[in-house]
Chain A
Amino acid sequence: MIEMIDLTKIFTIRKRKLFAFHSSMDHKTIKALDHVNLKVRPGELFGLLGPNGAGKTTLIKLLSTLLIPDEGTAYVNGFSILEDPMNVRKSIGTLFSVGDRGFFWRLDGYKNLEFFASIYNVPRNKRKERIQQLLEIVGLSHESSIIYQRYSLGMKRKLMLARALLPDPPILFLDEPTANLDPISARSIRSYIKTTLSQDFKKTIIYTTHNIEEAAELCDRICVLHVGHVLALDTPDNIRNMVKTKKIIEIVIKNVTPRQIEQLEALNKTSLEYQVDNDETNQYRIQLCMDRLDSLSVIIRFLSQHRIEVVDLSYKKPTLEEAFIYLVQKRNQ
């Protein structure tokens, strides 16, 4: 379980003037996190979603004890990040989004993992097996003897993920784990995180991403962060439904006259967009934009009365992306 209580982080930005010392420095403070209260349940795959500068990485670093909060605290696996950081570190595996730092460039992939296995307290008799297993999972088993500096960005990312999983911790902080990965590798990693780590091994995972659909696909709940504030916290479906836009129904109809189209437009009262789909069969693709779905029954009745053939009918749900943009814009207003 992870609990954040009024977690606040303020950064001071100093604007230095050339050849000037302290007296002439301008200070500016940025609240990267502002009294964030969140609870991540045991075994939950929890998504952190937000634009650049939302505070996602700051939050992960606070929970990993690499940053100290200015206010509030957090408990990771029951241990306080302020009072018991060593036990917090024993409970977590981390993957940060910062470039390709943290590895030793003259060592190969295997030896890098061997070093980290030691400092992450992986039992000596299990190290070799664990490293080989992880290299297999991330798809680096054939490249494990190549020195790190020859790795591509994607390979480095995979090695980072392997390192995060090395100690087999109950809690994982994954900061954009699929960044720089090709689509096939990204899909395979996502599937491993969702199926094996989350569903089979019941790991508690905080997963940050910019990719909205990725978060929707993977996460049990999503927290939308924006400039240090929690804008929304719910399941992906419920977050989608927060969008207060009009309902969009798309109908493909056949054997319809222009006059009937006008009548439909009048019936819908709000707006109707149509395009000719097929000239020969008089097939039209009509998008009805309505405030409430119950006005659809009037349209259906009209189509039925005039024996207009319905070829297809679909309801366009708002995407999570639309929800995200809606939430951010609402906050900015």
Chain B
Amino acid sequence: MFEELHKIYSFIKRDIFSWSSYKLNILLIIISTVFGALAYAFLSVNAQMQIVTQKYNMSLLSYLIIGLAFSTYINQSLNVVQKASSPWWLEEVLVSPTRLITFIVGSAAWGLIWNTIAVLIYLGIGIGFFGLTLNINILGTLLIVALGISSCIGFSMIGAGVLIIVKQGDPISWLVQIFTELFGNVLFPPEVMPYPLHLISYLLPQYYFFKCIRLTLIGYSIASFLQDFIILVLLTAILLPIGYKIYAWCLHRAKKEGTLSWF
């Protein structure tokens, strides 16, 4: 177990060194993060959306800033396994005595650490410049973030599996990304959409993730949104093993067909 954790640390170290070698890119990412937070904050500072106030008991500014901040986790998690499964190095990692789960977690780790920094930047701007008030339930927040990330990694593993077989074009991630933007409860409540359409939201773990995270950040206990929390747990419990199985099956098939290192 300790050895596996140390391997994950090595993945993080590798990714930090690679990432930090593109210095201009880091600067641009930070500037984009700050500008994104400012743009949405100015957009919402004097605006209101009735449904947000009713359903979440918060201002549109809080809704948008939290949505924007935590969408970094979701976007990253939806693509992490695809990036890790690059044919450029997949064989070299798979020939090592490293468990598949360590490989996936290790590949995701640095991205998630960076996302945490981005979340702090978003929330810091909201609190420091726009009077965003939070009453954070730390344990609940960590739990919900872990569930949100895990469910999306489930999608990512399915997408990566498909990508290993088809080599280019990942319809799963493409579809989930589009659905997240439209029905994911990221920047607007899906309930503003016409009735039958917004029902799609209820099938997505992202919807429950954003609902739960918003409520827990303004001081609600998990017990007060237990139903949404349980659905998030269930969807994660379904997606994660299914994703893992599909990914492992696709790797097996690529090994059978001899196309593991194909582009």
B89 lies within 8 A of chain A by Cβ? yes
Query: Would you give the shortest CB distance from A150 to chain B, in whole angstroms?
Result: 12
* B252 x A66 contact (CB < 8 A): no
Residues of B within 8 A of A96 (CB): 91
State which of A117-125, A288-296, A321-329 sits at the interface with chain B: A117-125
Whether, in the assembled complex, B94 has its beta carbon less than 8 Å from a beta carbon of chain A, the answer is yes
- Taking a contact as CB atoms closer than 8 A, the residue among B87, B95, B99 that contacts A65 in the complex is B95
A77–chain B nearest beta-carbon distance, Å: 12
List of A residues within 8 angstroms of B255 by Cβ:
65-68
Instruction: Let me know if A103 is at the binding interface, CB within 8 A.
Output: yes
Residue of A with least CB distance to B21: A106
Write the B45-64 contact mask toward A (1 if CB under 8 angstroms, else 0).
00000000000000000000
Say yes or no: B98 contacts A119, CB within 8 Å.
yes
Selected interface stretch from B5-13, B74-82, B178-186, B192-200: B5-13
CB distance from B104 to the nearest CB of A (A): 13
Interface size class of B (residues with CB under 8 A): 20 to 34
- A103–B258 CB distance below 8 A: no
Are B96 and A116 in contact (CB-based, < 8 A)? yes
Q: What separation, in Å, do the CA atoms of A269 and B87 have in the docked complex?
A: 63
A111-B14, A111-B17 known; A119 vs B7 contact (CB < 8 Å)? yes
Residues of B216-263 at the interface with A, using a CB-CB cut-off of 8 Å, are: 252, 255-258, 260-261
Q: Bound complex: CA of A70 vs CA of B98, how far in Å?
A: 25
Cβ of B202 < 8 Å from any Cβ of A?
Answer: no
Contact B14 A120 (CB under 8 A): no
Q: Are A102 and B89 CB-contacts (below 8 A) given A115-B10, A120-B96? A: yes
Residues of A within 8 Å of B22, CB to CB, are 106
Given contacts A66-B91, A67-B258, A104-B89, contact A124 B6 (CB under 8 A): yes
Q: Which of B3, B6, B17, B94 has the most chain A CB atoms closer than 10 A to its own CB?
A: B17
Q: How many angstroms between the C-alpha atoms of A106 and B255 in the bound complex? A: 28
B258 touches which of A11, A64, A104, A124 (Cβ 8 Å):
A11
Docked CA distance A163–B21 (Å): 23
Chain B hits for A64, CB < 8 A: 95
Tell me the dominant secondary structure on chain B's binding face.
helix
A27 CB to closest chain B CB (Å) equals 12
CB distance from B227 to the nearest CB of A (A): 42
B114 interface residue (CB < 8 Å to A):
no
CB of B26 within 8 Å of the partner chain: no
Q: Would you give the shortest CB distance from A130 to chain B, in whole angstroms?
A: 15
A90 lies within 8 A of chain B by Cβ = yes
Residues of chain B in range 71-125 having any CB-CB distance to chain A below 8 Å: 87-89, 91-99
Interface centre among A68, A116, A119, by most chain B C-beta atoms within 10 angstroms, is: A119
A14 to B257, CA, bound (A): 11
Whole-angstrom distance from the CB of B75 to the nearest CB of chain A?
23
Tell me if A278 counts as interface (CB < 8 A to partner B): no
Does chain A have a CB within 8 A of B168? no
User: Whole-angstrom distance from the CB of A249 to the nearest CB of chain B?
Assistant: 49
B97 touches A11 (CB 8 A): no
Q: Are A106 and B261 in contact (CB under 8 A)?
A: no
| Interface: B135 (CB within 8 A) | no
**Is the C-beta of A37 less than 8 angstroms from some C-beta in chain B?**
no
Once the chains are docked, how many angstroms separate the CA of A86 from the CA of B6? 18
Which residues on the A side are within 8 Å of B95 (C-beta)? 64-66, 89, 92, 94
Q: Inside 8 A of A147's CB, which chain B residues have their CB?
A: 21
- Taking CB atoms and an 8 Å cut-off, the chain B residues in 1-47 that contact chain A are 3, 6-7, 9-11, 13-14, 17-18, 21-22
Nearest chain A CB to B20 CB, angstrom units: 9
Q: Is the beta-carbon distance between B260 and A66 smaller than 8 angstroms?
A: yes
B224–chain A nearest beta-carbon distance, Å: 44
A17, B248: Cα distance in complex, Å:
30
A104 touching B14, Cβ below 8 Å: yes
Chain B positions within 8 Å of A319 at CB level: none
* Closest A residue, CB atoms, query B92: A102
Please, which residues of chain B bring their CB within 8 A of the CB of A58? 258
Give the residues in chain A near B88, CB-CB below 8 Å: 101-102
Q: Can you report 5 residue pairs joining A to B where beta carbons are below 8 Å apart?
A: A65-B95, A106-B17, A115-B10, A118-B6, A121-B3
Given A96-B91, A111-B14, A147-B21, 4 new contacts (CB under 8 A): A68-B252, A98-B91, A106-B18, A119-B98
Residues of B within 8 A of A (CB): 3, 6-7, 9-11, 13-14, 17-18, 21-22, 87-89, 91-99, 252, 255-258, 260-261
